[in-house]
Amino acid sequence: MAHINEFVEKISDILVKQKALSDQQAIDLKKGFKDVSPINFEAYLLESSQVSKASLLKALSTYYKLPAFDVSGYLFEHDLLRQLPKDVMLRNNCIPVEVDQDILVVVASEPSDDLAVTLERFLKNDIQFNVGLAQDIKNAVEEFYDEAPTEDPSEDPYYREEEETERIEKILDTEDKKDLL
């Protein structure tokens, strides 16, 4: 809970410094959004038109000390998205966007070392995070995996059901433990 309250506090303060929110709006947000997830807070700010998307991205960039990346309308490389299972991207609100000198740039709504460890199980490249909006990331992943009416996802060699991804993760966990011994 402390992490969530800290997020709301700091993002509100950053938005005030950027003049995207008034002092009173920030006080009201801090009171009204105790114990709300960062994703829900982000969604509320956008849906209520409290701040613009650009202002929120700029605030997230300041908060995480990472470049912001707006995934809306971005044309993703199929080969990059195929490197991560759909459910991993959706569960972690992340999406790979480009390879820059053997470094894979991944946009995540909550970039962290834990997320990097999770993603490294599936990826060969080193990871560099950018920060993006959770709903936009989710929409981009869903759009990429939208089925054509005549398409059978089981025929796609890269398609994995959530259970299959969990099975692979367990195998990788076992292999990681063996490597430690």
Whole-structure pTM value = 0.75
Burial environment of residue 4 by CB neighbours within 10 A (0 to 12, 13 to 18, 19 or more):
middle
Tens-place pLDDT, residues 11-56: 889 999 999 988 888 888 777 776 566 667 888 888 878 889 999 9
- What pLDDT, on the 0 to 100 scale, is given for residue 57? 95
Answer yes or no: is pLDDT of 1 > 50.
no
Stretch (H or E) spanning 140: helix 134-145
